[in-house]
Structure 1
Amino acid sequence: MRVLVLNAGSSSVKLRVVEPDDRVVHRRDLDAPRGRPAAGELEATALRLAREAGGVDAVGHRVVHGGADLTTATVVDAHVLDRIDRLTALAPLHQPPAVAGVRAMIAALPDAPSVACFDTAFHATMPEAARTYAVPRWWRSELGLRRYGFHGLAHDWASARAAELVDRPLERLRVVVAHLGSGASACAVRDGRSVDTTMGFTPTAGLVMGTRCGDLDPSAVTWLVRRAGRPVDEVDHALDHGSGLLALAGDADMRHVLDAADGGDADARLAVDVWVHRACAQLAAMAAACGGLDVLAFSGGVGENSPVLRRRVAAGLGFLGVAVDPGADALAVGGVEADVSAADARARTVVVHVREDLVIARQVRAVLAGR
């Protein structure tokens, strides 16, 4: 089954044609300010790729939020699309582009079923204790306030690939995935299943990110609104778009922040220190959720390409048996995958290049074969 994979983000749309043997034979990346390509561009590009490939059998879509009910890859019809659209308030950056992408593909390729693959679905295996907030019952039962977790497609791939790199069965491993980029989250994967993750009800929670604050005392929000007089919309926007590295160092790109820190910029140094401190603390928490640590897997734009940050995080997790070989670690950049563990490390450390496109293609094949 040949699958056109569409990954609609908040600033770009990636299209890949994946053959039945997982070869990617055609690819296009479209600029999409605010998640929307130029009018008609997505449909025209999809049709062109389909013609170049000799036709496609299905379209797979990355959808960030599936809520409590959409916990497996699902063929999209009008009812399913409406359910996805109603979750926009929980993922306002990513849900609208995904919905628009599904509609565009249904219009452009009506004979190829569209299948939604959800980032939240991988975390559906989290136990009740991990996904439940200690808040009033009706908030949980009536409003659906719970921890969902995100980046599931990436965590799914990274944990499985980590097992391959250390040549051990995933079903017998305790893996912590550090998916670090402009958006970032960590995940505890025990025996191949997600048992905890750092993101929560929305993708704002957890680690320090490019423009997101990560974990924050919830009373700080009510204080800003009630005591400091800040409008709710202003606070909401700042937490997602004006916080994180941007707020600490004046730049959301970790590469620029590291350069500034090396040049002696005090704000940049603090930003890196905060980022590392939070990463170490929350990765350690994920190891606790796993009951220990066998493999630490770095992925994402920062995780895959910053040996200096990997070494700092590894040093902070030394008490868990994590240690890296500096020489091997320095070479694992630019998509290079490797086991970068020190020879005497009790836990293995690997660098993984995430392939969400292949996870999506495989899920599409599985759901359509089952149907």
Structure 2
Amino acid sequence: MSKLVLVVNSGSSSIKYQLLDPNAEAVVASGLVEQIGEVEGHIEHKYRGVKSEFQGPIPDHEAGLHLAYRMFADTGLALEDAGIAAIGHRIVHGGEVFYDPTLITPEVIAEIERLADLAPLHNPPNVIGIRVAQARFPDLPHVGVFDTGFFHTMSKAAVTYAIDTEVAEKYGVRRYGFHGTSHQYVSEQVAKVLDRPLADVNTIVLHLGNGASASAVRGGVAVETSMGLTPLEGLVMGTRPGDIDPGALLHLGRAAGMDVPQLDELLNQRSGLKGLSGGNDFRELTLKVAAGDERAKLAYDVYTHRLRKYVGAYLAVLGRVDAIAFTAGVGENAASIRADSLSGLEPLGIEIDIAANDQRSSEARIISTPGSRTKVLVVPTNEELAIAKAAWKFV
């Protein structure tokens, strides 16, 4: 019997993919397609411990997916012969309709496309990933796993915006939250690392990548999160601003004559770290900070200030916090961000061990001092494994 699941995570500017055995929790092959639409794109593919690379133009997501599939065959594992039983797709916005893993049908695709107004950087490439995979594997179950799903448990008080009720209900204006698959996976891993029942652990999860979000998770159940109706709200991100006074947009409309498409482009592509410093690569930002670049230093300070503010807010929401977990590209690799965002919080029982924090590892680990009441962890996220397990249930 076929026992593998191909997971396609077709994101806003990159594509991650993995071929997994969900029962053994083993990765057979994996890859990352980056710099889509730029002059020079890059693919890194791993199979049997060997890394293969492609360097060249990747004009769009469809081309990137076809190149990724070709990498499998070129490295000795044609996907048609790999024993794939299902394909799992990460979908960013499920609206109020989708919160459980869902078998993808034409009607489901149409609804995901309709929700693209709420996630314009993400849902369109998600659909491209589905269509390309369905064309290649039309007879396999394709399963959508929604970023918004984990936050379906939040209370009415947590998801409701204080605007006219009839307008909000008519247009679906409420908090949905995103990165849910990652927040769920990481909160579960925290309980394992601490060797405690999940139901007894309260965790603040900080998912810090090009997109960034925070969540408050009580006993494995999400009670609050930083992203809202769209993936724009909350923490400072690579190209998105996070929290901003809505009046600023009204002001720009009146004073600068900016229309909705221009504001959309400003908020989604020219804000965040890129808007503040000129670039959204965190590695480049830290190099600029070290070189004394004032714009980069301000961007870094704004980033850490916002992080600290959300940690404080979620300490109040949860009442008791057993763990703070950093995850995703920046959260897992930027030791300075972890240290600077939590520095000075020792009176609240949060103490980072500097040596442990500076140590690099691909394993989940505790980086707080033995005396810290709240444990601080670095937990590599594995959204692909979580998606594969969800897709396997449809086999």
Q: Could you state the TM-score of these two structures normalised by the residue count of structure 1?
A: 0.94
Query: Conserved in 1, the CA contact under 8 Å of 2:322 and 2:374?
Result: yes
Q: Hey, what's the Cα distance between the residues in 1 that align with 2:326 and 2:141?
A: 34
Equivalent residues in 2 for 1:27-176 (5 A)?
Answer: 27-31=30-34, 32-33=36-37, 36-38=61-63, 41=66, 44-45=69-70, 48=73, 51=79, 54-176=82-204
CA separation of 1:216 and 1:316: change in aligned 2, threshold 3 A: farther
1:280 is aligned to: 308
Cα deviations by residue, 1:350-370 (Å, 9 ceiling, x for unpaired) = 00111111000111123x16x
CA separation of 1:24 and 1:16: change in aligned 2, threshold 3 A: same
Q: Select the residue among 11, 24, 28 that pairs with 1:25.
A: 28
Query: Conserved in 1, the CA contact under 8 Å of 2:208 and 2:326?
Result: yes
Residue 390 (structure 2) pairs with residue 363 (structure 1): yes
Q: Which moved more, 1:13-22 or 1:90-99?
A: 13-22
2:366 is aligned to: 339
Query: Conserved in 2, the CA contact under 8 Å of 1:50 and 1:56?
Result: no
1:260 is aligned to: 288
Amino acid at match of 2:231: P
Cα deviations by residue, 1:199-242 (Å, 9 ceiling, x for unpaired) = 00100110011111110000110111013322332222111111
Amino acid at match of 2:10: A
Q: Hey, what's the Cα distance between the residues in 1 that align with 2:284 and 2:71?
A: 35
Q: Which moved more, 1:163-172 or 1:61-70?
A: 163-172
Q: Hey, what's the Cα distance between the residues in 2 that align with 1:330 and 1:146?
A: 39
Cα deviations by residue, 1:165-214 (Å, 9 ceiling, x for unpaired) = 12111111110001112110001010101110000010011001111111
Query: Conserved in 2, the CA contact under 8 Å of 1:181 and 1:301?
Result: yes
Amino acid at match of 1:341: S
Query: Conserved in 2, the CA contact under 8 Å of 1:43 and 1:108?
Result: no
Residue 225 (structure 2) pairs with residue 197 (structure 1): yes
Q: Hey, what's the Cα distance between the residues in 1 that align with 2:341 and 2:297?
A: 15
Q: Hey, what's the Cα distance between the residues in 2 that align with 1:219 and 1:25?
A: 50
1:14 is aligned to: 16
Q: Select the residue among 188, 209, 228 that pairs with 2:237.
A: 209
Query: Conserved in 2, the CA contact under 8 Å of 1:46 and 1:105?
Result: no
Deviation at residue 292 of structure 1 after TM alignment = 2.3
CA separation of 1:43 and 1:109: change in aligned 2, threshold 3 A: farther
Q: Hey, what's the Cα distance between the residues in 1 that align with 2:234 and 2:188?
A: 23
Helix, strand or coil for the counterpart of 1:187? Answer: strand
Cα deviations by residue, 1:130-181 (Å, 9 ceiling, x for unpaired) = 0000010122211000000001111111111111112111111110001112
Q: Hey, what's the Cα distance between the residues in 2 that align with 1:282 and 1:123?
A: 17
Helix, strand or coil for the counterpart of 2:84? Answer: coil
Q: Hey, what's the Cα distance between the residues in 2 that align with 1:365 and 1:291?
A: 37
Residues matched between the structures, number: 367
Q: Select the residue among 182, 197, 214 that pairs with 2:210.
A: 182
Residue 298 (structure 2) pairs with residue 298 (structure 1): no
Cα deviations by residue, 1:69-128 (Å, 9 ceiling, x for unpaired) = 101000011111111111111111111111111112221111210000000001101111
Where is the strand percentage greater, Structure 1 or Structure 2? 2
Unaligned 5+ residue runs, structure 1?
none
Unaligned 5+ residue runs, structure 2?
38-58
Query: Conserved in 2, the CA contact under 8 Å of 1:280 and 1:316?
Result: no
Query: Conserved in 1, the CA contact under 8 Å of 2:69 and 2:79?
Result: no
Backbone CA RMSD of aligned residues: 1.9
Q: Hey, what's the Cα distance between the residues in 2 that align with 1:342 and 1:228?
A: 51
Q: Percent sequence identity over matched residues?
A: 41
Q: Hey, what's the Cα distance between the residues in 2 that align with 1:39 and 1:92?
A: 19
Helix, strand or coil for the counterpart of 1:86? Answer: helix
Amino acid at match of 2:189: R
Q: Could you state the TM-score of these two structures normalised by the residue count of structure 2?
A: 0.88
